[in-house]
Structure 1
Amino acid sequence: MIGAEYCRTMAAYNAWQNKSLIDALEDLPPGELGRDRGAFFGSIFATINHLLWADGVWVARFDGGERPSGSIADSPRLTEHLSDWRPAREAMDQRITGWAAKLSDHDLEGDLTWYSGSVGREITRTKALCVVQLFNHQTHHRGQIHAMLTAAGAEGYVTDVPFTPDGD
């Protein structure tokens, strides 16, 4: 399904997109972050918090590290201010990039079993599918955030995977 190189590519893409997102968020008037815009989690700020929380949950399943506290219902309130969210987001992106850098194709084989609080039961899926979920979920919510940002008057930014900087 996927290999380690896919994970490294998507981890780099994720970090780049979040850097662009941070820049856009910092240019918004403060009241725009918390305004309910009718998205699934309501506001831009609630959505970026949910995404940070979910990334932490998934990566903890992959690397065995610390998982964020709370449930999906608590996730929109993971941090209180953009000044708290930004360093947490940057640390999460480093964690994802570091995890991906160490992966081999073999690490993506087999199943992953976890208890899902959102559906109230144990689930087993292939590791590869779960990794795809991590990156797909990021893209899904960042698309919502991008739409909310542009609706709030922020300048859009490039989101296409082929334009991910390659470090030069």
Structure 2
Amino acid sequence: MIDPGYCRLMARYNAWQNRQMMECLQPMPAAELTRDRGAFFGSILGTLNHLLWGDRMWMSRFDGWARPESGITGSTALCPTLAAWSAERFRADGHITLWAEGVKAVQLAGNLTWLSGATGREVTKPMAQCVIHMFNHQTHHRGQIHAMITAAGAQAPVSDLAFMPDDA
């Protein structure tokens, strides 16, 4: 289904996208970042936090990271400010990249079983499908953030994978 090259490409894409988001959002006033814009996770910062929370949750399953302390309902409050989020995001992206650089094809085979807080039961899915989901989840929520940035009157960054620079 996927191979380690896919993981490396998507980890690189994730880090590139998040760096662009940081640059785009830094000049935005805190009130704009926290304004409820009617998105599923409310605000730009709330959605950024949920995305970081989700990455931490999946990486706790893939690579032994510490699980987030809060459940999905608390995911929007992970970091209180953009500066705090930026620092945590930078750290997480570095660790995701390291994981992707070291992942082996055998690690992507077989199943992953975990206790899902969202469903309240044990779930078993193909590992490759779970990895694809993590990267798809990132792209999905960054699309929401992109729309909120545009609605706030700011210039949203380029998000097309095909236009990612070779050195990103």
TM-score range with shorter-chain normalisation? over 0.9
- The residue aligned with 2:101 is 101
Cα offset for 1:75?
0.3
- Listed one character per residue, the Cα deviations across residues 96-150 of structure 1 (whole Å, up to 9, x for unaligned) are 1000000121210000000000110000000000000000000000000000001
Cα pair 1:12 1:164 within 8 Å, conserved: no
Establish whether residue 153 from structure 1 lines up as the match of residue 153 from structure 2. yes
Structure 2: distance between partners of 1:62 and 1:139: 19
What secondary structure sits across from 1:74 in the alignment? helix
- Tell me which amino acid in the other structure corresponds to 2:163: F
Cα offset for 1:68?
1.7
Q: How does 1:23-38 map to 2 (within 5 A)?
A: 23-38=23-38
- Listed one character per residue, the Cα deviations across residues 11-50 of structure 1 (whole Å, up to 9, x for unaligned) are 0000000000001110212210010100001110100000
What secondary structure sits across from 1:8 in the alignment? helix
Structure 1: gaps of 5 or more residues: none
- Tell me which amino acid in the other structure corresponds to 2:50: H
- The residue aligned with 2:127 is 127
| Count of aligned pairs | 168
Cα pair 1:27 1:154 within 8 Å, conserved: no
- Tell me which amino acid in the other structure corresponds to 1:24: C
Structure 2: distance between partners of 1:25 and 1:120: 35
- Listed one character per residue, the Cα deviations across residues 40-99 of structure 1 (whole Å, up to 9, x for unaligned) are 011101000000000000011000122221100000001111121110000010011000
What secondary structure sits across from 2:73 in the alignment? coil
Structure 1: distance between partners of 2:152 and 2:40: 17
- The residue aligned with 2:41 is 41
4+ residue runs over 6 A deviation = none
Establish whether residue 80 from structure 1 lines up as the match of residue 80 from structure 2. yes
Structure 1: distance between partners of 2:5 and 2:14: 14
Deviates more, 1:79-88 or 1:13-22: 79-88
- The residue aligned with 2:89 is 89
Structure 2: distance between partners of 1:163 and 1:91: 24
- Tell me which amino acid in the other structure corresponds to 2:167: G
Cα offset for 1:165?
2.0
Q: TM-score, normalising length from structure 2? A: 0.97
Identity of aligned residues (%): 54
- The residue aligned with 1:65 is 65
